[in-house]
């Protein structure tokens, strides 16, 4: 049977105390609503509809490429939100999964199991439930004398006896599409909140003689909804543990998983070693036998095999096999360390290629530069690429040796095998094999100190 998913992402999330819509906040670099979208995709949903409302200008770009977007014009409750998707699914006759855009931890396998249970019993709805030691704030699952699900009662509408129930509604459902939309037309707002509750659909379906089932999970963490900054941090810790456990099971060593944060799209080969305080985000990949960290953050960066990346920040960079980086290095977008190259201590590289085996060991800035193989850059050297209006290129050919404290003023080409004397300012091209010096002449006045005594305080 075909499956559609409706993702509810219209709420304001006032408890977040943020100008951003709640579902746009991120867990490990991925917005909350995108976690729900990916879960639906992984569960096999054929169609996905996202219901947006509050702050939709910020939410729509997050989901429009992967889902059909509909708008809940005024937030009048969960039933009204689902009803906003009715036209989008008017031609659909299958199972409809309802997910919360602020619940990033739901497992795809749980969604599949809910759908399988509903189909096996031809039920109107399966609701995902959980037992909680402290159920305050959650809707309670009320069962009849035979143990069947009778209805869901919200916290504000619960009697003392109902409030004592510990089986709670997770907010995740799998409906028969026809039963869902027929029941939604009968939902009223006679409750403490004056809203249209999706939970009322269960009692309506039961009254119509359709099956209403509960699928109870032992993993209540996956049902966590994010309504505050504290819950956002909690969800991050849960997802951090899941991702780290999966990488360690695949052969990655982590000295301290508690201080290791890995985004959901990161790829790590076996026998990689991650030292404490490592953050890997976005489209980052690490080749086998590399050592990353400590105190390293890589975003959208590719690291080859056998690399050492120590105390480094890299964004949209490429580090080839056997290269080393750090400590305290900064690789900005389009920085490329070729095989065996080195970016050392307090080195910043931007939009530059460091050729095979070339070294920028310490205290240097390299920008808009193409560097050949076997080049050595002395300490404190800078490619002066910006004239105040435009960026200019520096080309350093193979085998060049640049002495310490050298300024290469672009545009400039340094010929193959040449040597630049320390303390030089190079403003013209240097011929291959030449020695280039660009220093001011040193002068000396004998006896000047004795003739100009300095009064000591």
Catalytic positions are: 362
- Residue 197 counted as an annotated binding residue: no
- Residue 422 counted as an annotated binding residue: yes
- Residue 385 counted as an annotated binding residue: yes
- Residue 258 counted as an annotated binding residue: no
The tokens of 443 are what? 């002068």
**Dist. CA 369–CA 410, nearest whole Å:** 9
Strands 329-331 and 318-319: unpaired
Strand partners, 101: none
- Residue 355 counted as an annotated binding residue: no
- Residue 451 counted as an annotated binding residue: no
- Residue 179 counted as an annotated binding residue: no
**Dist. CA 101–CA 369, nearest whole Å:** 45
- Residue 101 counted as an annotated binding residue: yes
- Residue 245 counted as an annotated binding residue: no
The tokens of 239 are what? 């997802």
Write the burial class of residue 277 (CB in 10 Å: 0-12 exposed, 13-18 middle, 19+ buried): middle
Q: Which residue has the tokens 């939009």?
A: 351
Residues 6+ apart with CB under 8 A from 183: 124, 200, 201, 204, 205, 208
Q: Which residue has the tokens 């249970």?
A: 117
Of 334, 287, 332, 329, nearest to 312 by C-alpha is 329
- Residue 40 counted as an annotated binding residue: no
**Dist. CA 388–CA 379, nearest whole Å:** 25
- Residue 367 counted as an annotated binding residue: no
- Residue 210 counted as an annotated binding residue: no
- Residue 390 counted as an annotated binding residue: no
- Residue 290 counted as an annotated binding residue: no
Mapped onto helix, strand or coil, the DSSP state of residue 147 is: coil
The tokens of 353 are what? 């290629």
- Residue 102 counted as an annotated binding residue: yes
Asked if 406 and 422 touch (Cβ cutoff 8 Å), the reply is yes
Of 315, 281, 277, 282, nearest to 296 by C-alpha is 277
Strands 336-337 and 412-414: unpaired
- Residue 326 counted as an annotated binding residue: no
- Residue 416 counted as an annotated binding residue: no
- Residue 328 counted as an annotated binding residue: no
Asked if 409 and 423 touch (Cβ cutoff 8 Å), the reply is no
Q: What count of other Cβ atoms lies within 10 Å of the Cβ of residue 405?
A: 17
- Residue 134 counted as an annotated binding residue: no
Asked if 139 and 155 touch (Cβ cutoff 8 Å), the reply is yes
Backbone angles phi, psi at 36, to 5 degrees: -65, -40
- How many helices (H) and strands (E) the chain has is answered by 9, 39
How many Cα atoms sit within 13 Å of 365 on the Cβ side?
9
- Residue 358 counted as an annotated binding residue: no
Separation of CA 6 from chain center: 23
- Residue 11 counted as an annotated binding residue: yes
Cα torsion through 290, 296, 297, 301, rounded to 10: -30
Mapped onto helix, strand or coil, the DSSP state of residue 336 is: strand
DSSP 351: S
- The number of residues in the chain equals 457
> Which residues are known binding-site members?
8-11, 22, 72, 77-78, 100-102, 139, 154, 169, 227, 332, 350, 365, 376, 379, 385-386, 404, 422, 439
> Which residues are known binding-site members for UDP-N-acetyl-alpha-D-glucosamine?
8-11, 22, 72, 77-78, 100-102, 139, 154, 169, 227, 332, 350, 365, 376
> Which residues are known binding-site members for Mg(2+)?
102, 227
> Which residues are known binding-site members for acetyl-CoA?
379, 385-386, 404, 422, 439
């Amino acid at each position: 049977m075909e499956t559609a998913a409706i993702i509810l992402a219209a709420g304001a999330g006032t408890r977040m105390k943020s100008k951003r819509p709640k579902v746009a906040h991120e867990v490990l670099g991925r917005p909350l609503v995108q976690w729900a979208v990916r879960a639906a995709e992984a569960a096999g949903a054929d169609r996905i509809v996202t219901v947006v409302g509050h702050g939709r200008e910020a939410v729509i770009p997050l989901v429009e490429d992967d889902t059909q977007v509909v708008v809940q014009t005024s937030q009048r409750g969960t039933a009204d939100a689902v009803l906003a998707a009715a036209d989008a699914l008017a031609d659909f006759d299958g199972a409809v999964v309802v997910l919360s855009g602020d619940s990033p931890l739901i497992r795809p396998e749980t969604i599949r199991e809910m759908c399988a249970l509903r189909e096996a019993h031809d039920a109107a709805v399966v609701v995902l439930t959980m037992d909680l030691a402290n159920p305050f704030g959650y809707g309670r699952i009320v069962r009849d004398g035979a143990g069947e699900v009778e209805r869901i009662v919200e916290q504000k509408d619960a009697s003392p006896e109902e409030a004592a129930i510990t089986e709670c509604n997770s907010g995740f459902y799998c409906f028969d599409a026809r039963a869902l939309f027929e029941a939604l037309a009968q939902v009223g707002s006679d409750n403490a909140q004056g809203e249209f509750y999706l939970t009322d659909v269960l009692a309506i379906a039961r009254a119509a003689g359709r099956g209403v089932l509960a699928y109870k999970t032992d993993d209540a963490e996956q049902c966590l909804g994010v309504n505050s900054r504290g819950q956002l941090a909690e969800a991050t810790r849960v997802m951090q543990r899941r991702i780290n456990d999966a990488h360690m099971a695949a052969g990655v060593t982590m000295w301290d998983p508690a201080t290791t944060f890995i985004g959901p799209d990161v790829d790590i080969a076996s026998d990689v070693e991650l030292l404490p305080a490592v953050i890997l985000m976005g489209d980052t990949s690490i080749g086998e036998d590399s050592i990353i960290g400590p105190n390293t953050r890589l975003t959208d960066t590719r690291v080859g095999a056998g690399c050492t990346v120590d105390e480094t920040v890299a964004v949209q960079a490429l580090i080839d096999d056997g290269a080393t980086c750090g400590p305290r290095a900064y690789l900005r977008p389009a920085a490329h360390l070729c095989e065996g190259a080195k970016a050392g201590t307090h080195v910043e590289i931007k939009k530059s290629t460091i050729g095979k085996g070339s070294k920028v060991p310490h205290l240097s800035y390299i920008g808009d530069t193409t560097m050949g193989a076997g080049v050595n850059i002395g300490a404190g050297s800078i490619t002066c690429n910006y004239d105040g209006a435009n960026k200019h290129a520096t080309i350093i050919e193979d085998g060049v040796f640049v002495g310490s404290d050298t300024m290469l003023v672009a545009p400039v080409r340094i010929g193959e095998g040449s040597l630049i004397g320390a303390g030089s300012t190079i403003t013209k091209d240097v011929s291959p094999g030449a020695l280039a010096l660009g220093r001011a002449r040193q002068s000396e006045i004998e006896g000047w100190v004795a003739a100009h005594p300095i009064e000591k305080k």
